[in-house]
Structure 1
Amino acid sequence: MDRLVYVQNHIPSDLKDRVFVIGVLSEPEKLRSNINKSFEEIGDTLAQDCPENQNELWGHELLKHNKAELARIVPSLKQFLFN
């Protein structure tokens, strides 16, 4: 989580409401090996689950910390990104 705080502290205040920070809690390789999918498959699954508010993969131990950011992302981007 220290990396997340570091990144958030470097986002200019006038952009904070338009910048979204999501990621794996530890290392992406751990997630890939844990669920036995390629990074591309993981990205596709997460992108498909996002607008549908499905939390199967987003609820994974290494991703569930993104919940607050997802709550901001979906309403902000759904109209043009997830059509």
Structure 2
Amino acid sequence: MNRHKRYVIVLPEDRADEQIANGFSNHLNVIADAIKVERPAGGWTKVLAKFSEALVPEMQKFSKCLIVLLIDFDQNKNRLRYMQSQIPEDLKERVFILGSWSNPESLKKDMKKSFEDIGESLANDCSDNTNQLWGHDLLKHNKGEIDRMVSSVKPFLFKLQ
């Protein structure tokens, strides 16, 4: 990964989120050297801790770095707001918080797909400008974050078609 070009680091909460991120990053139209999936943090609070300890310094050093915090919302309507309040003001426009409204296991059960296939389907939606899976009941709450990402992430993360 060239840190002097725009790139995304994905910090997943758990193994299921990591598999979804890997499915996304392995999509045919995703530029592989523009995305890095970190190892799972081990819980949403640990995502915040790792973000603060390791990724905030990276973002401060490398202005082309964008971060996706991939969490389970556990049906908590305040989680997004709380997590956003923990992001330094000068970095907020480069940090995105996404995840299943409950947990990835519920999404997997409902979709009848593997976690990797879910990730690939999400990448399809992004690449094709569709909202098939992102519009799912367990993902539609991500709309605001996805809308923010379109102009800043899509131009360098996906191959032109």
Same fold (TM over 0.5): yes
Q: Over the residues paired in the alignment, what is the CA RMSD in angstroms? A: 1.0
Secondary structure of the corresponding residue to residue 99 of structure 2 = coil
Secondary structure of the corresponding residue to residue 23 of structure 1 = strand
Give per-residue Cα distances to partners, 1:28-74, cap 9 Å, x unaligned: 11000001011111011101211322111000000001111111111
Question: What TM-score, normalized to structure 2?
Answer: 0.49
1:60 and 2:136 aligned: yes
| Distance of 1:43 and 1:53 partners within structure 2 | 15
Aligned equivalent of 1:31: 107
Q: Which runs of 5+ in 2 are unaligned?
A: 1-76
Which portions of structure 1, spanning 4 or more consecutive aligned residues, are displaced by more than 2 angstroms? none
Give per-residue Cα distances to partners, 1:5-26, cap 9 Å, x unaligned: 2211111110000101111111
| Distance of 1:80 and 1:37 partners within structure 2 | 28
Q: Which runs of 5+ in 1 are unaligned?
A: none
| Distance of 2:81 and 2:104 partners within structure 1 | 18
* Residue pair 1:23, 1:66 contacting (<8 A) in 2 also: yes
Aligned equivalent of 1:75: 151
Q: More strand by proportion, 1 or 2? A: 2
Identity %: 57
Q: How many positions carry a matched residue from both structures?
A: 83
